Structure 1
Amino acid sequence: MRHLHHLDLDAYFARIGWSGERAPTWATLRSLHLAHVVGIPFENVEIVLGGVPSLAPADLEDKLVRQGRGGYCFEHNLLFAGVLEALGFGVTRLAARVRMGSDAIRPMTHTLLAVEVPGEAHPYIADVGFGSGGLLEPLPLLPGVASPQGAWRFRLVREDDLWLLQTVYGGQGWFTVYAFTLERRESVDFEVANWYVATHPSSPFRHTLRVQRSGPHERAYIEDRLLTVVRSDGSREERELKDDHEVLRLLVHDFGLLLPWDTVFPAPPERAHPPARPEES
C-alpha cells in the first residue's frame, strides 16, 4: 500500500510557475506537464556526490520543491504522479527500457506515467523526467499519432506487445527513445531500480555529472564539464567549463539549481570519444 502524503500543491505550483485551473482536465495536464519540464531541471548531483536519492514522497517534495533542486526520472515522475492524483487524475506508474537507438537489452530503469483524464476516451503518457530529449507535453496513448511539441516531434508506435516512444533526431528520421508496457509498477520496483542506477559501478549516473533543462525552442545540458545547447533553428553550441566554480555558476544562474558554493565534483573522466547523446536512466 502506498503511504499517503499530503502534497503542498501551492508550493509545487509556485516552484514551476503555474497558475492554471486545478481540475483533472486535458488542458490542466498539458500545461502542468510543460511547466514542470521547463521549471525543474533534470540532474544527478546527489548521485555523483555519493548519495542515493530518497523516493519517499515527503523527501521528493522537500528536494524538488522546497530546496530548489532537480532530480532524475524516479524523482520527477513520482512527484508528478502524486500531484496529478491530488488533482483527481488516475495515474498508473510504468517502467521502460531506454534504447536511444541501441538494440541492446538494457535494464528497466526508467519510469513514466499513464494518466487517465476524466471524459477522455484514451489515457495519456506523461514523462517529466527524461531530461533534454524527453517529452514537453503528454502524448495520447494511440499508435502513430505524431505530436509537435515546440520545435520537437514525438509519437508512440507498437512493436509486438511493446509501446515505443520515438522522436525525430537530426536527419535520421524517427528514433526510438525507450520501450515500455502498460504493466503497473509498484514502489518497490522503483526502489530497486533507483538503488541500481545510483550505486552500480557501471551506471553512467554514478560517475558523470548530468544536468539538463528543456524548453519549447532550446535544450541545454551539462555532461561533466561540457555545456551543450541545441536550438530549434538547428544550431548547436558546445563549450568546455574550466572548473567547479564555472560549473556551479551555470547550475545556479542558468539551470536554476540551489547548490552550496563550496560543492566539489569528482574530477571528470578523460574523454576518448565525444560524449553520447544525453540519455535518461
Structure 2
Amino acid sequence: MSETTAFAPAFAPAFAPALTPDELDAYFRRIGWDGDRRADAATLRGVHLAHIRALPFENLDPLRGTAPSLDPADLIAKLVRDGRRGGYCYEHNTLLAAVLGELGFRVTLLTARVVVGARRFEDRPRTHMALLVEVPGDPRPHLADVGFGAPGALLEPVPLTADVEFDGAGRRHRLVHAPHRGPLELWVLEAQGHAGSGTNDGWQAQYAFTLEPFERPDFEVINWHIATNPRSPFSSRAYVQCVTSDRHLLLDGPLLTETHADGTVKQRELTDETEARRVLEEEFGIVVPDGTCLLP
C-alpha cells in the first residue's frame, strides 16, 4: 500500500463538536489569527502554528490530581477565555479538532505511542492524541498535532507521506514506516536535531501511530488514567512549555530550559515555590491555581 493511498477517507468518522460563532471568534482572538477561515492547507498551517505559539502546554490540573474536562465548552473557558492557562495534549488537540471541524475540515482522532528514548516501541502505551486532517481538494491527509509537549513537536502539520522531509517554521520532520505486528501500517514521526536545539544530530523518533480512528470516549478514559495514575509523569511533576518564533521554553520539575533558534541553550534550577510561580506567570503567561504544588 503506498503512502498516498494508505488512508481511505470513508474509514474515518468526522469529528466536529459544535462551537458557537462567539466561541470560534474568541478562539481566533486568543491565538491572534486574523487570516482566512477556509478549509484549505494554508489556513490549516497558519492556525496550527498560531495555536502553538499562543497557548502554552501545561499539566497543572493533573498535578493537582484532577483530570481536565475535554468538553469543548470547558476547553474554551479554560484555554481561551481565561487567558492565563494552557493544557496538555488531549485538551489542545480536542480544541483544535473542534475548530477545524467548524471550518469544514474532516478530522480523525488518533492515538500514538510516545517513543522518545525508547528501545522498543511496544514498551510504550498509546497515550498521546494526534489528529489526521483531510483538506478538501488535497488527496493527502495531514498529521496535525498542537499538543505534543516536547521540543521535537510539529509546529505545522505535515502531509501523510512517507520518507519525505518537511520544514515547518524552522523544524524539520519526516514520517517513516516501521515494522510491527498489527494489521495496519505503523507510522513514526521523526524530528531532526537534538531536543529542538536546531543542531543536526540525526533523526529521532517522537511517536508512533496507526490510522485506526479513536473516539471521544476512548480519550475520556486515557485522559483520566494519565491525569490520576500516580505513576504518570504528568501527575507527579510540573511540565510546562511555550514556543515563540525565537525560543522554546520548558519547565520540567525544577529545571528550566531555554532553547533559542540558533541552538543556544540555557538551564537553571528553580529553588522554591515562589520563584516557580513567578516564572510561570512572567515567562509562560500562566497563573498557577491555588492549591498547586509546583516543586514538591
Asked if these proteins are the same fold (TM beyond 0.5), I'd say: yes
Structure 1 residue 265 and structure 2 residue 293: aligned? yes
> Is the 8 Å Cα contact of residues 112 and 128 (structure 2) preserved in structure 1?
yes
Q: Equivalent residue for 2:275?
A: 246
In structure 2, the residue corresponding to 1:6 is in which secondary structure? coil
Q: Equivalent residue for 1:78?
A: 94
Structure 1 residue 255 and structure 2 residue 275: aligned? no
Q: Equivalent residue for 2:149?
A: 131
State percent identity of aligned pairs. Answer: 48
Q: Equivalent residue for 2:191?
A: 167
In structure 1, the residue corresponding to 2:293 is in which secondary structure? coil
Q: Equivalent residue for 2:18?
A: 5
In structure 1, the residue corresponding to 2:130 is in which secondary structure? strand
Determine which of 82, 98, 104 is the counterpart of 1:88. 104
Structure 1 residue 222 and structure 2 residue 246: aligned? no
Q: Which runs of 5+ in 2 are unaligned?
A: 1-12, 180-184, 195-199
Deviates more, 1:79-88 or 1:208-217: 208-217
Distance in 2, matches of 1:265 and 1:157, equals 40
Deviation string 1:226-272 (CA, Å, 9 cap, x unpaired) is 11011121111001122222212221221112335x5541543xxxx
CA RMSD of aligned residues (A): 1.7
Structure 1 residue 34 and structure 2 residue 58: aligned? no
Superposition deviation, residue 3 in structure 1: 8.9
Determine which of 114, 124, 132 is the counterpart of 1:106. 124
Deviates more, 1:34-43 or 1:95-104: 95-104
TM-score normalised over the length of structure 2? 0.86
Deviation string 1:104-147 (CA, Å, 9 cap, x unpaired) is 42111000001011111201100000024211000010011111
> Is the 8 Å Cα contact of residues 150 and 217 (structure 1) preserved in structure 2?
no
- Shift of the 57–259 alpha-carbon distance from structure 1 to 2, 3 Å rule, reads same
> Is the 8 Å Cα contact of residues 154 and 168 (structure 1) preserved in structure 2?
yes
Structure 1 residue 54 and structure 2 residue 69: aligned? yes
Q: Equivalent residue for 1:44?
A: 59
For 2:187, give the aligned amino acid.
W
In structure 2, the residue corresponding to 1:234 is in which secondary structure? coil
Superposition deviation, residue 149 in structure 1: 2.4
> Is the 8 Å Cα contact of residues 244 and 264 (structure 1) preserved in structure 2?
no
Q: Equivalent residue for 1:208?
A: 237
Superposition deviation, residue 218 in structure 1: 1.6
Distance in 2, matches of 1:6 and 1:216, equals 29
In structure 2, the residue corresponding to 1:148 is in which secondary structure? strand
For 1:129, give the aligned amino acid.
G
Task: Work out the number of aligned pairs and report it.
Answer: 267
Distance in 1, matches of 2:115 and 2:127, equals 11
Deviation string 1:184-212 (CA, Å, 9 cap, x unpaired) is 10011101111111111210011110000
In structure 1, the residue corresponding to 2:112 is in which secondary structure? strand
- Shift of the 3–87 alpha-carbon distance from structure 1 to 2, 3 Å rule, reads closer
> Is the 8 Å Cα contact of residues 5 and 58 (structure 1) preserved in structure 2?
no
Superposition deviation, residue 151 in structure 1: 3.2
Structure 1 residue 237 and structure 2 residue 237: aligned? no
> Is the 8 Å Cα contact of residues 49 and 266 (structure 1) preserved in structure 2?
no
Distance in 2, matches of 1:5 and 1:251, equals 32
For 1:265, give the aligned amino acid.
C
Structure 1 residue 97 and structure 2 residue 126: aligned? no
Distance in 2, matches of 1:236 and 1:165, equals 24
For 1:212, give the aligned amino acid.
Q
